[in-house]
Chains A and B, each alone.
Chain A
Amino acid sequence: MSAYPTRKIEDWRWSDLSGLDALAAGHANDALPDLSRYWIDLDGPRLVFADGRFVEALSDRRGLTVTAVRSAPGHPLGDVAAAKATTGLWLTRTANTPAIGPIQIVHVASGGASHLSSRIELARDAHAEIVETHVGAGWSNVTATVALAEGARLMRTIRVLKTGGAHTDFTLATVAQAASYTSAALVTGADSARLEARIKLDGTGAFAEADGVMLSRGEQNLDSFTRVQHAAPGGSSRQVWRSVADDRSTASVAGRVEVARDAQKTDAEQSVKALLLARTATANAKPELEIFADDVKCAHGATVGELNRDALFYLQSRGVDPAAAKALLTRAFIADALDRIGDETVREAVTADAIAWLEAK
């Protein structure tokens, strides 16, 4: 019996971890899929991990350190990753280290359980960009601890393009004064996925943005939980999530903003919207605010809706067939989140992944 959290715990009420033990008992498939389609046209290091192992032969490390990071983040699944992982990325950058370009990671979890535990440490004014792509039909369980020093900037993109199985992902980040943490996620594949991030803004004027798009169909159960803790004054945070659920699938997004008593002049915004493509699909949207300071600007909004029938008819009356009309409107819906990806090449690649999902129906 596993000791994973159950749905009885509020923060896990939309997660489905029931299949993890069975997945972990499965076996890896030694044949690696063709990875070429997962690489984005960016000049930078490329790291391949397969079933929890680093594959040097398929990687272009460019001097990066690959090793298991043993610090437990204090999270039921993240701690499992930290305890069991035999590898991961250990990235340390300073403002003076020569630029290496965006780092791409492709992680293939073909079967069984694959754990990765990573650490990203950016010293004062350092910056880094990382694109993580998770594929395969096994269980990938990854965790990352992120420490951004004053003025450091990290841009992260997480793509879950699995063909089944499960993906669980936990990030613990601390963001110092005037530092910036941004992440964008696209979750399509995986029978079940849980993306979680706990981001603490503990320096004046720190910035965090955690956006995502979740696309579910069939019986998929996808959920995300982002918790942003404003612990210092003048910080700002953004959470923009768009989910689309079809068939009998469930897509759930929870976002929490916590503003400590000292975190005056906090500016926090949450926008969580879901689109149901079928009456049998389920979407949950839960933005939460917990404010102990009195001089803050916090905005949040959540909607769950269907495609606008008038707009669908309008497109059809102009010659667009129903499937294409649906895809066009759905694409417009998720663009709110995807358009926030700062790196244009990455944004286009992630948008192409989302369109491929829309057109796969």
Chain B
Amino acid sequence: MLQINDLHATVGGKTILNGLTLTVNAGEVHAIMGPNGAGKSTLSYVLAGRAGYEVTGGSVTFDGHDLLALAPHQRAAAGLFLGLQYPVEIPGVSNLAFLRTALNAQRKQRGEAEASGAEFMKLVKVEAEGFGLSMDMLKRPVNVGFSGGEKKRNEMVQMAVLAPKLAVLDETDSGLDIDALRVVSDGINRLRSPERATLLITHYQRLLDYVVPDRVHVLVAGRIERSGGPELAHELEREGYVRQAA
């Protein structure tokens, strides 16, 4: 599904990713953990193609595509979803208009028929209920006046409606209370399937109690320093990231 090979990237001339290699297969959930400044968010932005994040070496293959050759909107249409750490507020654009525009933009790029109003509403209604977001909130401008938890639930609704092949979730667990964490985790688990993959980027092991990953990777100074099974997350929680001196 996703092969990242020897990826190097800079932000503002500063090297942040420094030879990162990672493979995520279809059907798997991987977690990337690491201290602040290790390059976790940079990895997510590089994968999504944000301007200002410059790839200086390496390659990324996603579902047969050379991911780095695609524009951000093309990556989305190819099936990549980035759940943002800080979802953006957009005054004047309702959540429904935003999501319908996005869904149909992706379908159009893939040569599929656009969703009718009724089809779209049916789809959204189910997912909004599942993530505990009222229709009233969906009619409001994108994330405007939403609490931190509501913004993350909204990201999950978007993910569920857009049904990506690969979801990269950047600190989706940050700012969530325990109830919201459970709702979000259930949502991620619900979307697990043999055709899909998830990359969870997180600072804490907390989320991984609810979404048990197949693999856990430790990102330090722009590269994967260790990889292991779910037990690695617990080990990191006990011993911290700065153990590797030995």
Contact = CB atoms under 8 A, between A and B. Distances in A.
Interface of A: 308-311, 313-322, 324-325, 328-329, 331-333, 335-336
Contact of A311 (B71, B76, B90): B90
Tell me if B's interface is mostly helix, strand, loop or mixed: helix
A316 B92 contact: no
A320 B93 CA distance: 14
A319 B106 CA distance: 5
A311 B101 CA distance: 14
A329 B92 CA distance: 8
Contact of A333 (B73, B92, B106): B92
A56 B106 CA distance: 51
A313 B50 contact: yes
Contacts of B57: none
A331 B73 CA distance: 20
B138 interface: no
Contacts of B93: 328-329, 332
B94 to A, nearest CB: 9
Interface string B77-109: 100011010011111110001110111011001
A-B residue pairs, 3 tightest by C-beta: A332-B92, A319-B76, A318-B102
B73 A316 contact: yes
Could you say which interface size class chain B belongs to?
A: 20 to 34
Interface in B13-34: none
A319 B84 contact: no
A168 to B, nearest CB: 31
A94 B49 CA distance: 63
Most B CB within 10 A of own CB, among A316, A319, A322: A319
A123 to B, nearest CB: 40
B185 interface: no
Contacts of A331: 92
B200 interface: no
B123 to A, nearest CB: 15
Contact of B51 (A313, A314, A333): A313
Interface string B33-66: 0000000000000001111000000000000000
